[in-house]
Structure 1
Amino acid sequence: MMAKLKPAYVVLGIIYVLLISGLTFQYMSSRKWLYTTNRMLYSLKINKNNSQFLRPASPASSKRNHNIWSSTPKARPSPTSSGDVFIDWSNINMTSVENMREKIKKYMDGKLSLIVYKHNTSLTDMKFDTNLTQLKKANSTEFLQHHDTCAIIGNSGILLNSGCGREIDAHDLVVRANSARILGFESDVGKKTSIMAFNRASAIQLKRRLGGKRMVLDSHQLKTFRTFKNTIMWYPLGAGGTGTAALKAVGMQLGFDNIRIGYSLSSPMRLSKTLWHLRLPSSGINMFSAMNYYCDKISLYGFFPFYEDTHGRPIQHHYYETVVYNYTHSHHKMPQEYVSLTQLNKDGVVRLVTDRCNY
């Protein structure tokens, strides 16, 4: 007859089983994402030569333009031009764009994702109210204006040596994230910054960096901020709290007249979680979720979560720094986000740029 087990041993046995189960689940999940990532990249390479790249189709460059997504042409807006830069919007289907907006309306009022303080509002008067009645009474904020063309810039290393700078600057509105470096990379990422979005960590980090004399003198961020022209520094993760307080403090420390402060009454992160079934959406997908309301035609640059491009060339995680990043173990499921964006590209909701922009 077996001896009766002590309760302590039973508890330890249960903990052991749960631990092994958790490790097994984590391993299988990482293998699944690694497999998905590799298959996606392989598919890109195979199909690259069988489709037309979504770039300006000027006579001089049409032969070397490739679209890594093959799709049937849809009802088209005309190409837009800025100087000698032409942007081909032929993949955009405005019916699909409107359908996406109607879908978003079911979950949130899109205009509430970006509230901007007016120029004449002092930083001390910025209360980041969440009550629309109080905001209207104070008359110190306004909604972002609607735009025809917008470029949302991710920070992927795919942008390095892309030559997309002039094409990016040709958009009416350019949205960037988390103080990404611009100086020294203008030919690849452009010069224009209409909106600079910050997540909580980057806002706090910026506040700390500007607190020290050495960082103020040597910071590439500070030099970038001096080039801003009526740029909105935007905290899209809600009103109040550490994030908006950090941006307000940064505004006080910089003391520039060329920046404005914006925040969200309705966080686009909640929308991203619902639409794309993500536990923790990245800054890039949050920016797209918000800008879909304000922009008719959207181009996405620097959204490419892979270790090499479609030509087999290795690429770094960020275009401006060499950091090691594990896409399969990250808290952001970027390969999953990428699947959603490629589908939106095929449906004509966005223009996804993942190759060079040579002119």
Structure 2
Amino acid sequence: MSSYCAPWTYQTAKAQGLRIFLFVSVFYLLFLMLLTTHWNMNIFADTTLVIPSGDKNAFICGNQSLVNTSRIMAECLFTNYNHEAATSVKSMVNQRFNLLNAIQIYNPDVPMVFFEDFCSRLKVNRTKLHHTKLANNERVTRFIKITDELGIHSKGTCAVVGNGGILLDSGCGREIDAHDFILRNNLAPIKQYVNDVGSKTDIMAINNSRLNKLVTNLLQNGTTSQSVEDFDRLRYLNESVLWHSKLVLLQRRVVTNLHDILQKHHLPIRLAFSLETNLRNTGKIWNIDVPTTGLISYTLLSLFCDKVSLYGFYPFSKTPNGDKVQHHYYEELKFNYETGTDHTFLKEYHLLRDLHREGAMRLVSDRCNGTNIKSKG
């Protein structure tokens, strides 16, 4: 009996082993496919932050203990940070940019012609400036003081918030606000989208087109819907810096008019302008013919920020899994990223993606509440 059953038992065991092997192999392949798909859909998820339910001010970063400060939260995001890559970018930008010229607080007591003449003739940095004979000049002293008022010093973590539709329903607001310094673009609405884009703003950069549109709207004194909307957006900035990021030479009168309007309506906003050809300098650094305001903003922040995150930079109408993405997070516009503008959006995106992969910065294009920050329980 036993000699008859032995072969049958052996064959059965062998078949069962084969079935187990096939099952495990298929499961492993499915796991690899799922992992690969997730990586392709979100190459930007550096880490996982878990927010314990019931405590919105606390979270767990990876295997770290429970922490409750936004600074630790921001630092936790940069697990892929490469100091050498970031330093290389900063060194490259330093060769083209002078921060003193790139962003300057407007003051009616110092004529713009003086700023332009002073900066064009004096090819020295701030440290050297204090040791020159010009340092005793009243206007020069005021010039230095005004620059100091901007309060730009070395920052640990910074966020550049673009206006891409990928931010809609992203839940990235808390993550964005965790950064030490936040720069936004073109006066996009914030108040209605705090959960997705955050609420804090240190600098709001605007380009030539938005500057002219803003002044035109504000001169309507709230008699049109566009005027009312722009006044509301400015009030929400609350003592932030409104920075005209392009060269000011051809926009002196517009900048002066904007300053007068802000003063007239008692809006607590500091106006800033640029004496640098930021567009040309940024273009030469990255080999981009007409860089966007977003790329100019990142380039500027790399001068004084150790670690930079970019949000809302996604020039595609669909996500990798086929979900529709509108042009801006606050409005739907028909837009062709390849032919609808002088900007080379796709080239910029691939540049930023490569910088992200090198660890020089973070490019976020996924739902923060679905990947980077997850609710617990």
Whether these two folds match at TM > 0.5 is yes
Distance of aligned partners of 1:136 and 1:166 in 2 relative to their CA distance in 1, 3 Å threshold: same
Does the CA contact (< 8 Å) of 2:158 and 2:179 recur in 1? yes
Aligned in 2, Cα 1:245/1:55: closer, same or farther, shift over 3 Å?
farther
Give 1:16's aligned residue: none
- Structure 1 distance, partners of 2:224, 2:141, is 40
SS in 1 for 2:241: strand
Moved more, 210-219 or 165-174: 210-219
**Equivalence for 1:37:** none
2:359 matched to 1:348? yes
- How far, CA to CA, are the matches of 2:44 and 2:214 in structure 1? 41
Letter in 1 for 2:207: N
Identify the match of residue 89 of structure 1 among 73, 78, 96. Answer: 78
CA contact (8 A) 2:103 2:274 kept: yes
The 5 A counterparts of 1:76-155 are 81-82=69-70, 85=73, 87-117=76-106, 121=107, 123=108, 125-127=110-112, 129-130=115-116, 131-132=118-119, 136-139=140-143, 141-143=146-148, 144-155=152-163
1:265–1:326 distance in 2 versus 1, CA, 3 Å: same
Tell me which residue corresponds to 1:201: 209
> Which amino acid counterpart does residue 229 of structure 1 have in structure 2?
N
Unaligned runs of 5+ residues in structure 2 are 1-35, 54-66, 123-136
Q: Output the CA distance in 1 between the equivalents of 2:346 and 2:68.
A: 31
TM-superposed deviation, 1:217: 8.3
Point out the more displaced range, 45-54 or 338-347: 45-54
Please tell me whether the aligned partners of residues 55 and 353 of structure 1 are also in contact (alpha carbons under 8 angstroms).
Answer: no
- Secondary structure at the counterpart of residue 184 of structure 1: helix
Paired letter, 2:183: V
Distance 1:331 1:229, change over 3 A: same
| Letter aligned with residue 352 of structure 2 | L
Distance change in 2, residues 1:151/1:52 (3 Å): closer
Post-superposition Cα deviations, 1:318-359, rounded to whole Å, max 9, x if no partner, equal: 111111111110211000000100111011111111000114
* Residue 325 (structure 1) aligned with residue 317 (structure 2): no
Partner of 2:294: 284
Q: CA deviation at 1:211?
A: 1.1
Question: Contact conserved, 2:172 with 2:197, CA < 8 A, in 1?
Answer: yes
Aligned to 1:301: 311
Q: Residue 138 of structure 1: CA displacement?
A: 3.5
Q: Residue 140 of structure 2 aligns to which amino acid in structure 1?
A: K
Answer whether contact 1:236 1:267 (CA < 8 A) is retained.
no
Give the letter aligned to residue 112 of structure 2.
Answer: K
Matched AA of 1:82: S
Structure 1 residues 1-359: aligned runs within 5 Å: 47-48=39-40, 53-58=45-50, 81-82=69-70, 85=73, 87-117=76-106, 121=107, 123=108, 125-127=110-112, 129-130=115-116, 131-132=118-119, 136-139=140-143, 141-143=146-148, 144-213=152-221, 214-215=223-224, 219-242=228-251, 244-255=252-263, 256=266, 258-329=268-339, 330-358=341-369, 359=374
* Structure 1 residue 112: Cα displacement: 2.9
CA–CA distance in structure 2, aligned partners of residues 51 and 273 of structure 1: 26
| TM-score, normalisation: structure 1 | 0.74
- Cα deviations across residues 210-268 of structure 1 (Å, max 9, x unaligned)? 111313786222112112232111112123322x5323322321323521111222232
Q: Which has the higher helix share?
A: 2
Q: Partners in 2 of 1:337 and 1:109 — Cα distance?
A: 23
Deviation at 1:102, TM superposition (A): 1.3
| Amino acid in structure 1 at the alignment position of 2:187 | S
Confirm or deny: 8 A CA contact 2:100 2:147 kept in the other structure. no
Structure 1 residues 84 and 145, CA gap change in structure 2 (3 angstroms): closer
> Is the Cα contact below 8 Å between 1:197 and 1:234 reproduced in 2?
yes
Q: How much is the aligned-residue C-alpha RMSD, in angstroms?
A: 2.7
The structure that has the greater radius of gyration is: 2
Whether the 8 Å contact between 1:147 and 1:173 is mirrored in structure 2 is yes
For these two proteins, the number of residue pairs brought into alignment is: 294
State whether residues 156 and 304 of structure 1, in contact with CA within 8 Å, keep that contact through their aligned partners in structure 2: yes
Contact 1:148 1:172 in 2 (8 A): yes
- Paired residues of 2:71 and 2:179 also in contact (CA < 8 A): no
Structure-2 separation of matches of 1:341 and 1:174: 18
Find the residue that maps to 2:246 and give its secondary structure.
coil
Q: Deviations over 1:24-47 (max 9, x none)?
A: xxxxxxxxxxxxxxxxxxxx9674
Compare relative contact order (CA 8 Å, sep 6+) and give the higher one, 1 or 2: 2
Out of 192-201 and 269-278, give the one that drifted further.
269-278
Percent identical across equivalent pairs?
A: 29
Q: Name the CA distance, whole Å, in 2 between partners of 1:200 and 1:89.
A: 33
Q: Which moved more, 1:198-207 or 1:137-146?
A: 137-146
CA separation in 2, counterparts of 1:326 and 1:228?
31
Given that 2:161 and 2:184 are in contact with CA atoms closer than 8 Å, whether structure 1 keeps it comes out as: yes
